[in-house]
């Protein structure tokens, strides 16, 4: 009976995590440069707020970030938990909402968001 429980638990876990491992594949054709700030939101959802001077609303768009390769700094590694983190990144958005590659939330079931795949990153945070 115990092996059956283990197999069932394994199947449920794999199915639950599958939605986060399906990476996007189609990128916008035109690259863009955006400025984002880490939101410090208390959930496993998208944490990077897009700053766009052309937005005339109070609501910000929160997105996920994904480095284009392993040699780039992971944006989340710049977050220390106590300071404002603002970065300027160049890259392209995936055409569909989803999750970045290798995304595994710690808890919860966050909704998909736009994913920005960057190939240049620069920390422009205010001085601490």
Residues linked to residue 120 through DSSP beta bridges, in sequence order: 90
Higher pLDDT, 6 or 104: 104
List, in sequence order, every beta strand (DSSP E) within 39-93.
48-51, 62-67, 86-93
Instruction: Enter the pTM of the model.
Output: 0.76
Instruction: Give the pLDDT confidence of 50-108 residue by residue, as tens digits.
Output: 986 655 556 789 999 999 999 999 999 999 888 999 999 999 999 999 999 988 877 77
Instruction: Return the residue matching tokens 């890259």.
Output: 91
């Amino acid at each position: 009976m115990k092996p059956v429980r283990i197999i069932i638990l394994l199947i449920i876990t794999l199915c639950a995590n599958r939605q986060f491992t399906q990476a996007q594949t189609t990128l916008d054709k035109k690259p863009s440069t955006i400025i984002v700030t880490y939101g410090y939101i208390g959930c496993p959802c998208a944490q990077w707020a897009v700053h766009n001077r052309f937005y005339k609303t109070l609501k910000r768009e929160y997105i996920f970030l994904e480095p284009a390769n392993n040699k780039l700094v992971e944006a989340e590694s710049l977050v220390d938990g106590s300071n404002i983190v603002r970065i300027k990144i160049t890259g392209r958005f995936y055409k569909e909402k989803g999750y970045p590659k290798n995304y595994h939330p710690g808890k919860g079931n966050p909704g998909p968001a736009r994913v920005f795949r960057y190939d240049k990153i620069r920390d422009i945070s205010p001085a601490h």
